């Protein structure tokens, strides 16, 4: 009996512990360090864009809507971030992208807001289901604006950064030349 107990404690528990560590490092979820869950939505031209297609870049996943006052007030900051970092050199990343997920129901309102706010990047997506969006469900979005900053490996490194805090976090990822 003691030999069996020794065998279990010495050999099996450490294997399970190591297995748990490996699993947690590849865990898909919403915590810092988790792999960001996949999103796959149509853009304004009805072409699908997967979040995973942006791997290799630092990506800001930005949940917003045309009808959301706080989102529209934050958009000038998002535009400034895009202008400042879209051509920057990053440590361990090809570049910087914004994956904007709209919680709109109305396509023309969504497209008009993109134009009005000069959101000049390509990765604007939506399923046009508003709060019923699978993206809102997957990312547990209960209010907007809300964002997730992910690294080039697709790991969440920050959440809900607004204003200067967003710039400061991205500055930490810039390559020192």
> For residues 81 and 79, what is the distance between their CA atoms, to the nearest angstrom?
5
Name the β-bridge partners of 61: 99, 148
Please tell me the pTM assigned to this model. Answer: 0.83
At residue 3, the pLDDT reads 53
Residue 18's pLDDT is: 39
CATH H-level, domain 30-171: superfamily: Glutaredoxin (3.40.30.10)
In the chain (177 residues long), the average pLDDT of successive 10-residue segments reads 51 44 64 97 98 97 99 98 93 94 99 99 98 98 98 96 95 72
Cβ-count burial 33-63 (b if 16+ within 10 Å, e if not):
ebbbbebebeeeeeeebebeebeebbbbbbb
Give pLDDT tens digits for 75-104. Answer: 999 999 999 999 998 888 999 999 999 999
Report pLDDT for 7. Answer: 47
Alpha helix locations (H) across the chain?
2-7, 13-25, 69-85, 107-116, 134-138, 163-171
| Sole residue written with tokens 């900051």 | 77
Residue 21: DSSP 8-state: H
Are 105 and 122 contacting, i.e. CB atoms less than 8 angstroms apart?
no
Q: Where along the chain do its domains lie?
A: 30-171
Confidence at residue 149, expressed as pLDDT on a 0 to 100 scale: 98
Determine the pLDDT at residue 177.
33
The per-type count for the chain, helices as H runs and strands as E runs, is 6, 7
CB 122 within 8 A of CB 86: no
pLDDT of residue 16: 45
- Percentage of the chain lying above the pLDDT 90 cut: 77
């Amino acid at each position: 009996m003691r030999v069996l107990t020794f065998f279990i404690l010495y050999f099996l528990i450490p294997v399970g512990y190591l297995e748990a560590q490996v699993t947690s490092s590849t865990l898909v979820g919403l915590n810092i360090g988790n792999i960001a869950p996949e999103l796959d939505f149509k853009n304004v031209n009805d072409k699908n864009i997967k979040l995973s297609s942006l791997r290799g870049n630092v990506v800001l996943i930005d949940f917003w809507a045309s009808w959301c006052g706080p989102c529209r007030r934050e958009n000038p900051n998002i535009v400034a971030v895009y202008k400042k970092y879209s051509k920057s050199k990053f440590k361990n990343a090809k570049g910087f992208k914004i994956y904007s997920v709209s919680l709109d129901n109305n396509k023309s309102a969504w497209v008009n807001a993109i134009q009005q706010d000069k959101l000049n990047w390509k990765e604007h997506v939506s399923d046009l289901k508003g709060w019923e969006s699978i993206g809102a469900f997957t990312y547990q979005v209960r209010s907007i604006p809300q964002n997730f900053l992910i690294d080039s490996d697709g790991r969440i490194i920050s959440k809900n950064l607004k204003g200067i805090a967003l710039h400061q976090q991205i500055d930490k990822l810039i390559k020192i030349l």
